[in-house]
């Protein structure tokens, strides 16, 4: 035994084993497993084209690879939260937008080659990439008899498809349906449908038990981690600050649970009285829209609503209070949480009357806007509003940093595969909104509990029964789901 050990020590490396760099690509075990279980030739998968719209991140690329094992053509459009480029490979066609050298426009790439340049905002830029994908790739395939399925995070495609429906009627007639991942994307599709009706079936995992009870924990954790990092970068920190949570749904409440043990003053504002009561029952201070607590001290505001949560009145309350610094941090998709303030900085609308912009300072991921103002006591003050991660979700902003681990987001991707299979096997489904968690017909092949148990088993996690995890819900879960249930028709 001693001789064997001596021989190993004489070899290069550790005990004779040469260390290798860890492979950056992490597989999606559950998605790979379930896609092979749910799909067969009976649903005509050889004639189905996938348009996958998601964050431009490695786990999205890996999901494209999984989809390509079943579907012949997968087209990916990457929402440009960062300047990451999809890999150029045979498994999928990739679109991305990268800041141009002047940083005033963005270059749109298709498989690494510039195909357009655009100078609009974030959402408009995603729309432009979808337009390019429709014209360059999707329409030619549909004209050959293929059918289209959209798998998305954000609801970006709805507006583009509506606008293209007259020019390319085949775009709608060939649609099997759409699978949406987020609350904001589901709402975006619903608002268009409310005016013009549903053109094709819309399905969503946004209010599923897994999204509400499992994923929310991980998103909250990453939001707090990334927020802390950005604050450290500007010589600040969370401790000893007032934290104003705007929105106390599944993400807002999960963030509150994480912060309860820290030396911060937590307070909550939500437009729904029932949700406000949940926050009060959780032992948190709630504030009203009259003054949002008055901003007596420096405040970190975390927006969790998916809509423009900071309006002119809220900003006026901050300028009138005694706090000198307001940090704006978003946990929701896209860049609409602080849209009102960002439009003020772009000159599209005026700042509140009690403030004058004096200076702007920029650093990596943080923009500081310095104002001169007069508070409620009549004192002149200099105050700063810090916009973190350009008002985009803080957990997606940094390039080459994961928002959620592959093994975590794998569970959500598997849900989207589940809904994709339902649409493929029900090509004549009624044109309406279907919500996983309330529409039980979506679980005819696999329930959420079965899916969760598969995930726990494949990754060898300590819990073996997901039932308990799925029942640990937001106290207002039924209210949060009911809102979408009423939107179905």
- Identify whether residues 180 and 220 lie together within a single domain: no
**DSSP letter, residue 191:** H
How far is residue 462 CA from its own chain's centroid?
Answer: 27
pLDDT of 146:
96
The whole-chain average pLDDT of the chain stands at 89
Q: Compute, in degrees rounded to 10, the torsion defined by CA atoms 218, 223, 225, 231.
A: 180
Residue 433 placed within a domain: yes
SS3 assignment, position 332: coil
pLDDT in tens, 121-161: 889 999 999 999 999 999 999 999 999 999 999 999 999 99
Question: pTM of the prediction?
Answer: 0.88
User: How many domains are there within the chain?
Assistant: 2
Mean pLDDT of 461-472: 72
Question: Is the sign of the CA dihedral 113, 162, 437, 441 positive or negative?
Answer: negative
Can you read off the two tokens belonging to residue 113? 């080659």
Q: Where are the beta strands (DSSP E) in 73-204?
A: 73-79, 93-99, 106-110, 113-118, 147-152, 175-180, 202-204
pLDDT in tens, 285-316: 999 998 899 999 999 999 998 888 899 999 99
**DSSP letter, residue 215:** I
Mean pLDDT of 422-438: 93
Q: How far, in Å, CA of 124 to CA of 122, rounded?
A: 6
State which of 369, 396, 423 marks the end of a domain: 396
pLDDT of 218:
92
pLDDT of 15:
59
Q: How far, in Å, CA of 77 to CA of 75, rounded?
A: 7
- Identify whether residues 167 and 229 lie together within a single domain: no
What backbone torsions phi and psi does residue 239 show, to the nearest 5 degrees?
-55, 145
What backbone torsions phi and psi does residue 63 show, to the nearest 5 degrees?
-65, -40
State which of 340, 372, 396 marks the end of a domain: 396
- Identify whether residues 261 and 153 lie together within a single domain: no
DSSP H helices in 234-301 = 250-259, 273-281
Q: How far, in Å, CA of 212 to CA of 482, rounded?
A: 14
Q: How far, in Å, CA of 458 to CA of 154, rounded?
A: 29
Domain CATH code at residue 450: 3.40.50.1480
For 24-53, b/e burial (b = at least 16 CB within 10 A) is: eeeebbbbbbbbeebbeeebebeebbbbbb
Instruction: Answer whether residue 388 shows pLDDT above 90.
Output: yes
pLDDT of 11:
58
Can you read off the two tokens belonging to residue 41? 């030739």
Residue 208 placed within a domain: no
pLDDT in tens, 271-292: 999 999 999 999 999 999 988 9
**DSSP letter, residue 389:** G
pLDDT of 120:
82
Instruction: Answer whether residue 16 shows pLDDT above 90.
Output: no
State which of 371, 396, 421 marks the end of a domain: 396
- Identify whether residues 102 and 193 lie together within a single domain: yes
Residue 18 placed within a domain: no
- Identify whether residues 78 and 163 lie together within a single domain: yes
Cβ atoms of residues 206 and 373 within 8 Å: no
- Identify whether residues 363 and 427 lie together within a single domain: no
Cβ atoms of residues 200 and 444 within 8 Å: no
- Identify whether residues 338 and 463 lie together within a single domain: no
Q: Look at the chain and count its residues.
A: 489
- Identify whether residues 458 and 479 lie together within a single domain: yes
Mean pLDDT of 26-31: 93
Q: Which domain holds residue 291?
A: 216-396
Residue 333 placed within a domain: yes
Question: Is the sign of the CA dihedral 218, 220, 223, 224 positive or negative?
Answer: negative
SS3 assignment, position 76: strand
- Identify whether residues 161 and 285 lie together within a single domain: no
Residue 126 placed within a domain: yes
Helix %, strand %, coil % for the chain, to 5? 40, 20, 40
- Identify whether residues 243 and 373 lie together within a single domain: yes
Nearest to 382 by CA among 326, 343, 341, 339: 326
Q: Report angle CA 250, 254, 256 to the nearest 5 degrees.
A: 120
- Strands 93-99 and 106-110 turn out to be antiparallel
Residue 49 placed within a domain: yes
């Amino acid at each position: 035994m001693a001789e064997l050990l001596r021989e190993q020590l004489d070899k290069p490396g550790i005990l004779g084993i040469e260390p290798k760099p860890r492979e950056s690509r992490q597989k999606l075990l559950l998605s790979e497993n379930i896609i092979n279980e749910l799909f067969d030739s009976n649903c005509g998968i050889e004639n189905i084209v996938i348009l996958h719209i998601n964050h431009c991140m490695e786990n999205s690329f890996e999901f494209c690879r999984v989809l390509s094992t079943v579907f012949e053509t997968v087209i990916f459009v990457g929402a440009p939260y960062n300047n990451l480029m999809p890999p150029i490979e045979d498994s999928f066609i990739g679109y991305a937008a990268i800041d141009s050298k002047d940083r005033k426009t963005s270059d749109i790439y298709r498989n690494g080659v510039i195909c357009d340049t655009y100078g609009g905002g974030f959402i408009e830029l995603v729309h432009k990439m979808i337009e390019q994908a429709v014209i360059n790739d999707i329409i030619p395939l549909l004209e050959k008899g293929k059918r289209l399925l959209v798998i998305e995070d954000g609801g970006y495609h709805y507006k583009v498809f509506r606008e293209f429906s007259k020019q390319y009627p085949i775009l709608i007639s060939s649609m099997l349906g759409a699978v949406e991942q987020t609350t904001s994307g589901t709402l975006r599709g619903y608002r268009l449908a409310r005016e013009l009706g549903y053109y094709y079936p819309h399905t969503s995992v946004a209010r599923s038990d897994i999204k509400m009870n499992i994923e929310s924990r991980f998103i909250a954790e990453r939001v707090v981690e990334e927020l802390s990092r950005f604050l450290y970068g500007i010589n600040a920190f969370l401790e000893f600050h007032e934290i104003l949570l705007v929105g106390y749904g599944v993400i807002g409440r999960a963030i509150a649970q994480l912060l309860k043990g820290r030396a911060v003053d937590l307070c909550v504002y939500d437009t729904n009285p029932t949700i406000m009561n949940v926050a009060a029952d959780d032992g948190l201070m709630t504030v009203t829209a009259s003054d949002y607590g008055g901003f007596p001290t420096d405040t970190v505001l975390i927006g969790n609503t998916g809509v423009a949560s900071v309006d002119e009145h809220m900003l006026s309350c901050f300028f009138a209070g005694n706090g000198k610094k307001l940090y704006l941090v978003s946990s929701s998709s896209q860049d609409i949480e602080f849209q009102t303030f960002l439009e003020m900085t772009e000159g599209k609308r005026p700042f509140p009357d009690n403030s004058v912009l004096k200076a702007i300072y920029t650093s990596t991921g943080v923009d500081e806007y310095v104002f001169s103002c007069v508070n409620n006591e009549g004192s002149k003050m200099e105050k700063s509003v810090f916009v973190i991660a350009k008002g985009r979700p803080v957990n997606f902003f940094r390039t080459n940093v994961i928002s959620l681990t592959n093994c975590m987001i794998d569970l959500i991707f598997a849900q989207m595969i589940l809904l994709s299979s339902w649409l493929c096997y029900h090509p004549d489904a009624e044109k309406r909104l279907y919500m996983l968690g309330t529409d039980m017909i979506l679980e005819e092949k696999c329930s959420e509990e079965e899916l969760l148990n598969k995930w726990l088993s494949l990754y060898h996690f300590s819990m073996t029964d997901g039932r308990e995890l799925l029942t640990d819900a937001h106290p207002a879960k039924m209210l949060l789901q009911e809102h979408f249930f009423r939107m179905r028709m």
